[in-house]
Amino acid sequence: MRPLFITATGTNVGKTYTTLQLIEILSAHGIRVGVYKPIETGVTTHAPDATALLHAVQRHNPTFGSLTPSDITAYTFPLPAAPFCADTTQCIEVERLLAKADQLSQLCDLLLIEGAGGLMVPITQTFTMIDLAQALDAHLLLVTPSRLGCINDTLLSLTLLQSRHLSYEWCVNLHEDHTTFAQVTQPYYDKAFPVWWSLQEGLEEFCQNLIEK
């Protein structure tokens, strides 16, 4: 199956939460899921996102059973910043990012790849997260927030995806301002997008469609 790259409009929107949910749903449908966190920053003693993702996969896919969090990441850095900024020695190599994805994809039916930050987060001076997704020929799932001001962030990300002619879907994580979302944001989405879905209500159907492709 084609890799699935989970991205967002920015940080703290819900990429890890979404990926964890995908692991459970897809595994319940009999898909051998694997996981890859190409780069994780803000790592001092252990990589929290990679650790959570790996433990979730190990409950369902025994081929990942002997792996450690460092096995499902290509790079970790202590500075909590964009990879380019966290990589103070400029050691990131795009080839290594791609090779690790290829290695992990051999252990599963579907590799879930969780990005860092948003689509334009720099990995190197000239290579961004959206470039990585494109190089991996991945289908993308864009997770957008529900807080006030999210329409602008969402439209910018969708415009970028469309300009690259990439295969993607998007959903809203009804996590913030959920009590006011129906008044301050949803009216525009309902008008501009005849079909849109929330992470909380549409992820099961998304997974089913993914399997049937």
Q: Which residues are catalytic?
A: 37
Cα–Cα distance for residue pair 192/205, rounded to 1 Å = 21
Cα–Cα distance for residue pair 19/114, rounded to 1 Å = 7
Identify the DSSP state of 58.
H
Which residues, including other chains, have CB under 8 Å from residue 40's CB and lie 6 or more apart? 47, 48, 49, 50, 73, 75, 76, 77, 116
Cα–Cα distance for residue pair 115/121, rounded to 1 Å = 9
Do the beta carbons of residue 113 and residue 138 sit within 8 Å? Answer: yes
